[in-house]
Structure 1
Amino acid sequence: MSDFKIRTETIKPTKILEYFVETQEDRSIIERLKSDAPVVLVGSRGVGKSFLLRVAEAELKRDLEQHRVLPVYVSFTQGAVLQLADETQFYHWMLAKLCSSLIRSLKKSGFVLPVSLLSGNNDKQEEYLTRLVAEFENSWKPQQAHDIDSQFLPSIDDFKDAVEDICEEAEIETVNFFIDEAAHILRPAQQRQFFSLYRDINSPYINCNAAVYPGVTSFGDYFQPIHDAIFINLERDVSSAGYVENMRHMVEKQADSRLLGKIAQNISNFSLLAYAANGNPRVLLKTLVRAPSVYSREVNTVIKEFYKSDIWEEHSLLADKYAGFVGFINWGRDFVEEHVLPEIKQKNDTYLSDDKKTSCFFWIHKDSPAKIKKALGLLCYTGIISLHSDAVKASRSGVGARYSVNVGCLLALENTPASTGNTIVRNLTIKRMTEYGANHPTYGRLETDLDDFDDQTISSALDDQLRKSVDFLDLPEWLINALKGLSLNTIKDVLEATEETIQRAYYVGEVRSRYIKNEATSAVFEYLSG
């Protein structure tokens, strides 16, 4: 069976273009990311945000001599474990990450740093920044709990002036930052700080692009989404021309000859898995692993198990990590499972018997309670539903938001998805949607009040998660067993492990040990982030 790379983090940046399957929509996003206009790329987990950032970075590196645009990729994923003394330190951590990543990108591109980024012209600025970032990111460890000295960090204005000087000296047009995993953790205060930095840092010489999750982002009063950035939703429409072919090409980039043969023999079943994945390449790869022969029986089983159980686990796990969201998470799951999906299913059965178009859409009135919209936002965050469009008129001239349910969750309600699923998807139309008014009876079941999390709540939740078993991580069984074989039994153990430890204990080479470490740590931070 093909050993799929399901996370961008495990693909070498120098190899990223080899995995890229170009579509018209993706090409448009990449060109936007490479431009001098700030972009915020929005999408649920696994849909490909990180991958497109990396593709844009790789293309700018390839064309650096011609266009003189320096790409700087930086991931904020480790923000999930920061335990800082005050909110200003989070801002300092972000700035330190940007400074460190810029210096690294300049060096790798062959540029000599002509000026210092730090106040005081520190001769050992790279060493200082590396140590400073490490101190911030180790703040979750009890032995690291101390004041972090960031006195030499530049102010935003000094940083922008330094970048301007660097660009002029090195004949660089602009520096394009690609900030991955930005503002994705469920701490509103930190999210607001990120968007404050994002707005502050843009200049004629600096352009910021960021990837965020939908539904749960707090922008604050300073950042205005309409004016301060171009927002792009990364959604792959299952009804679009060429959808299945594009998803198949993504698989072909990694699949072995046996799987390719099975797909060719059972293209209708593969199409169903592609539709069920709802445009999410990671989900498609994970379900293919569980249906390696792509037979109808396998596909029926995988769709019913994965989309009735597994896909909901990620959503429900948010309740374990963040107690303040329990009411929203439980209501959202009940609302979709007990009302939205059954009602759409019942209507589709009627539509198909009458040879009419089908639906995967529902509509929520704009005057629905704010807590309902928050619960729906969490469903968007984990990819159970997607916001299709705002300001849509319904049958009684009411205005609201149209959402689509995950296609796989809808197909899982079929007795034999392989028999009826393709027909349902190929007949989808946005003109049919189930409507829920401003005072729908189900809303009364959500009694949780709206509130934010304080740092103490978040810290307590983090400690609980670090003590959990590695079984909770989204990793293949062989890798879970490999970690346990090294006595890395908890999430905290994996975070603290070094490549040298893995390599020495496992008697494997550098490449294999790095692969194990990278897979495990990326899964840890993805898990901890929500």
Structure 2
Amino acid sequence: MEYEVYEDNSLVLAAEDFDSEEFAEYHFFTSQDKKCISKLRAHGPVLLKGARGCGKSALMIEASMGLYPKNIKGTAVGIYVSLRHLDLLRTSGAQYIELFCKLVIDQITKQLPEVQVETSAYTVSELQQILIQVASSLSKRIVLLFDDAAHIGRETSLSDFFDIFRTLSNNSISCKASIYPGVTKFGTRFDVYNDATVIDVNRSETASDFDNLFVEVLNRRFTVSLDDSKFSKALPKPAVCKLMGVAVLGNMRSFIYSCNQLITSINGSTSVTLTHISEAFKQLSNNYFWPLLEEIEPKLGVYEPMVQPAQSIAEILFEKSGEKGERSVIILREIAQRLNKPLEILEYVGFIARKEVSRGMKSRGRGTRYVLNLCNITEYLEHSRINNAIEEKWLSFKDDAVEFHRGSELYKLELPEPSLEHELGILSKEIKVLKKSNAYPYGLTNYMVGLLDGNNIKTLEELVNTTDEELLKLPMIGPQTLKRIRSTVNQAIWM
């Protein structure tokens, strides 16, 4: 079953795709989020860590909204810098530093047109001097918000980035960056827990405002298709929102997908039932979560061979948990360490979330505890349906974790070697990969793919290298279509 979309605002999933007014209208921040935003605006280096779609970009953009120049009364200057640039994936050393400096300076001149700055820098020290001059001229400290700084598929240039991050930080300049699980190569000079404060963005299911967050998001994005009339006393809106929020491990992007799928499952019924939710979860598992592994495989560079074992691990975890109706697992530390990279991939795509690094096991020893997304578990439940007892058990957070020890299937699983020399395969994919599909539910139309292909834009790399001006010259491509194309490309390469 293909995704059906009922409201235009549900199409826009990335925080960067909103203009300022839309961003404020469709985003809601909890008290926990606001503490994080406060740290992003304050002194000191910060790393935001979380799975894709969990809201890192939204937090960074909201932080920048409260700083100068977007907030004239802001006590610091906030420069939001997206590092989604293809050349950054391919360069290192002096070439990487020069390109990085150019990106930062371009954003300074764009966001602070009233400030006269040197327009070129070739070293970190030169960039630092420019930033110090900007801070001095405005009598404000600088906060640099680096979005999409690093993830699993971009480890070749990470040591360069973190060297810059560490060197730039001083009393006048505060560096912040968003990273994904799996960023392990910080470089020899960067001590992650001493050189920065690490904030895990994953939302706590037991937080008092967890339910309210997802109710607010549903109200803002699905005012018509999921209005109050769709909910009953047996399953009120807060309960449904909590269950769906817990199901996707608190991931905001996945929650929006789940709302779309719930609308499809209701299909004209008067109110939401557990049967509708079960169907929505199963469809989300088949049409969104499992295709994610297919989608990210060509983005992982040297770790592309780890996707197949990651899928095997996921199938084992969900099957065993589904059979017992549990939603958490404990994996023996020895096994978790050996399977670290495929487990990081599963965390990156939202299949699992690590909750405890070390927990005692009934079978002796200690292990890492993960919670699993409920959509994939639902497929393995008895009759593949959620009943009242399962719902109550999952939402009480009192499940009995399934343990994986030396005698388990995970222990016997063999891993392939990483591909030491491996370009990102996604760049060479034909443009037709961007067609609307399970992997890209909000992809391009057949007409648009044909138009691009007919104008000699054959691969994703060629599309990325085509300027906005060149695309706007093509027939039927206006600003909104251009925005849709860029958003889809960003999902294909970075998200």
Please report the TM-score for the alignment, with normalisation by the length of structure 1: 0.79
Matched, 1:527 2:495: no
2:129: which partner in 1?
161
2:58: which partner in 1?
51
1:341: which partner in 2?
318
> For residues 325-474 of structure 1, what are the structure 2 equivalents within 5 Å?
325-338=303-316, 340-348=317-325, 359-368=326-335, 370-395=337-362, 398-414=365-381, 415-417=384-386, 419=388, 421-429=390-398, 432-437=400-405, 440-449=408-417, 451=418, 453-454=420-421, 457-458=422-423, 461-471=425-435
8 A Cα contact 2:69 2:111, kept in partner? no
Deviations 1:264-291 (CA, angstroms, capped at 9, x unpaired): 4563555443332321221122222233
1:277: which partner in 2?
248
- Cα offset, 1:73, TM superposition: 0.4
Task: Let me know the Cα RMSD of the aligned residues.
Answer: 3.0
8 A Cα contact 2:303 2:419, kept in partner? no
Out of 89, 96, 103, the position equivalent to 2:102 is 96
Pair 502,179 (structure 1): closer, same or farther in 2 beyond 3 Å? same
How many residues were matched structurally?
469
Please, which moves more after superposition, 251-260 or 292-301?
Answer: 292-301
Matched, 1:171 2:145: no
8 A Cα contact 2:335 2:410, kept in partner? no
Task: Give, in whole Å, the separation in 2 of the partners of 1:65 and 1:479.
Answer: 39
> For residues 85-234 of structure 1, what are the structure 2 equivalents within 5 Å?
87-107=93-113, 111-113=114-116, 115-116=117-118, 125=119, 153-172=121-140, 174-184=141-151, 186-234=153-201
Please, which moves more after superposition, 27-36 or 88-97?
Answer: 88-97
- Cα offset, 1:424, TM superposition: 3.1
Gaps of 5+ in 2: 1-5
Task: Give, in whole Å, the separation in 1 of the partners of 2:248 and 2:195.
Answer: 33
Matched, 1:312 2:290: yes
Matched, 1:303 2:281: yes
Deviations 1:140-170 (CA, angstroms, capped at 9, x unpaired): xxxxxxxxxxxx5242223222322222222
- Cα offset, 1:314, TM superposition: 1.2
Out of 17, 34, 55, the position equivalent to 2:24 is 17
Please, which moves more after superposition, 398-407 or 439-448?
Answer: 439-448
Task: Give, in whole Å, the separation in 2 of the partners of 1:236 and 1:206.
Answer: 28
Task: Give, in whole Å, the separation in 1 of the partners of 2:374 and 2:450.
Answer: 38
- Cα offset, 1:453, TM superposition: 3.5
Out of 222, 227, 238, the position equivalent to 2:205 is 238
- Cα offset, 1:327, TM superposition: 4.5
Task: Give, in whole Å, the separation in 1 of the partners of 2:68 and 2:379.
Answer: 43
Pair 244,80 (structure 1): closer, same or farther in 2 beyond 3 Å? farther
Instruction: Output the amino acid matched with 1:423.
Output: E
8 A Cα contact 2:442 2:488, kept in partner? no
- Cα offset, 1:386, TM superposition: 1.2
8 A Cα contact 1:78 1:525, kept in partner? no
Instruction: Output the amino acid matched with 1:425.
Output: W
Deviations 1:238-297 (CA, angstroms, capped at 9, x unpaired): 343342332020121222334324544563555443332321221122222233246435
SS at match of 1:259: coil
8 A Cα contact 1:369 1:438, kept in partner? no
8 A Cα contact 1:50 1:180, kept in partner? yes
- Cα offset, 1:78, TM superposition: 1.8
8 A Cα contact 1:75 1:181, kept in partner? yes
Task: Give, in whole Å, the separation in 1 of the partners of 2:185 and 2:432.
Answer: 29
8 A Cα contact 2:434 2:488, kept in partner? no
Task: Give, in whole Å, the separation in 1 of the partners of 2:228 and 2:379.
Answer: 26
Please report the TM-score for the alignment, with normalisation by the length of structure 2: 0.85
Task: Give, in whole Å, the separation in 1 of the partners of 2:337 and 2:242.
Answer: 38
SS at match of 1:231: strand
1:143: which partner in 2?
none
Instruction: Output the amino acid matched with 1:520.
Output: I
Matched, 1:517 2:482: yes
Aligned-residue identity in percent? 19
Deviations 1:481-517 (CA, angstroms, capped at 9, x unpaired): 45236345753564336367457622x7xxxx32322
8 A Cα contact 1:363 1:435, kept in partner? yes
SS at match of 1:77: coil
Pair 463,335 (structure 1): closer, same or farther in 2 beyond 3 Å? closer
Please, which moves more after superposition, 299-308 or 477-486?
Answer: 477-486
Gaps of 5+ in 1: 117-124, 126-151, 349-358
Task: Give, in whole Å, the separation in 1 of the partners of 2:280 and 2:289.
Answer: 11
Matched, 1:256 2:223: yes
- Cα offset, 1:388, TM superposition: 1.1
Task: Give, in whole Å, the separation in 2 of the partners of 1:372 and 1:478.
Answer: 33
Instruction: Output the amino acid matched with 1:8.
Output: A
Task: Give, in whole Å, the separation in 2 of the partners of 1:478 and 1:323.
Answer: 23
- Cα offset, 1:419, TM superposition: 4.8
Task: Give, in whole Å, the separation in 1 of the partners of 2:300 and 2:178.
Answer: 22
Task: Give, in whole Å, the separation in 2 of the partners of 1:26 and 1:34.
Answer: 13
Please, which moves more after superposition, 415-424 or 281-290?
Answer: 415-424
Instruction: Output the amino acid matched with 2:260.
Output: V
SS at match of 1:403: strand
2:38: which partner in 1?
31
Task: Give, in whole Å, the separation in 2 of the partners of 1:329 and 1:491.
Answer: 21
